[in-house]
Structure 1
Amino acid sequence: MDGTHMQIGEVAARTELSLRTIRHYEDTGLVTPSARSQGGFRLYTERDVERLMVIRRMKPLGFALEQMRDLLDVTERLDAEDLTEGERERLQARVREYELFAAQKIDDLRAELARAEEFAASLRKRAAQPVPAAWA
């Protein structure tokens, strides 16, 4: 290997994704190894790692696999140099839709976190109460 390719174990360590998860993303078409070794091992590039990191960031926001695939395709297409002005505008509008979706999910997660923090605080308060003398 010349250093430009990584095996799946290194990719898993760098992305903090399990081997199983990376293989699942491959099976669903979200990521494709850039090459295979002579022994048939999956080989990934830095660009593949970046794609997996985008997927990892979308997952907690509740993006469905199809949404992930669409957004990855849209952002990849936006990097192309042969876009017409109309196509670029259409693709940017899609990205804005996903940005609004992500912003709403973040707001929802913040609300859930606030409820969870309130609950944990009530448990701390309860745990700090002195034991009644009748129980001692």
Structure 2
Amino acid sequence: MSSEHMQIGEVAARTELSLRTIRHYEDAGLVIPSARSQGGFRLYTEADVARLMVIRRMKPLGFTLDEMRGLLEATDRLDSDDELTPAEREELRTRIRGFEQAAQRRVEDLRVQLARAEEFAATLAERLTRTTAP
């Protein structure tokens, strides 16, 4: 990974998140810019972008900011250079597995909602076809 820093505008373009949303996640403590420029501008790394992508993927599944924070804390600890006991490592993996299972359930719920929405749209289209004006 490159250690090159990006300003918030580039991060917004790459993550498809608004500047306001990125600042909101910063205020919530979910992502902290890795550095600041001499002029005080936020500077982000590839790791910061990856972190924002995790958040972006969790949002449509209805995860709360606290849940996002919980997952990020668990992955941060698991990925850190800290010495973890096997029990600590397994506890972190169990927490992450819980998020994975919740995500799978929420994806299935969205599939059901999508199927209902498609059925509704098809019903409307069929109705319009049956009642076309001369």
Question: TM-score, normalised on structure 1?
Answer: 0.92
Equivalent residue number for residue 125 of structure 1: 126
SS in 1 for 2:43: strand
More divergent stretch after superposition (77-86 vs 100-109): 77-86
Matched, 1:19 2:19: yes
Question: TM-score, normalised on structure 2?
Answer: 0.94
Cα RMSD (Å): 1.5
Equivalent residue number for residue 60 of structure 2: 60
Amino acid at match of 1:67: E
Instruction: Point out 4+ residue stretches in structure 1 off by more than 6 angstroms.
Output: none
Matched, 1:100 2:101: yes
Deviations 1:48-80 (A, max 9, x none): 000000000000011010000010010111112
Uncovered stretches (5+) of structure 2, i.e. residues with no partner: none
SS in 2 for 1:119: helix
SS in 2 for 1:124: helix
Shift of 1:83: 1.3
Amino acid at match of 2:65: L
How many residue pairs match? The answer is: 132
Amino acid at match of 2:35: A
SS in 2 for 1:121: helix
Equivalent residue number for residue 29 of structure 1: 29
Uncovered stretches (5+) of structure 1, i.e. residues with no partner: none
Deviations 1:56-115 (A, max 9, x none): 000001101000001001011111241111100000010111111111111110110010
Amino acid at match of 2:9: G
Aligned partners of 1:33 and 1:127: how far apart in 2?
52
Deviations 1:20-46 (A, max 9, x none): 000000000000000000111000000
Matched, 1:86 2:87: yes
Larger Rg: 1
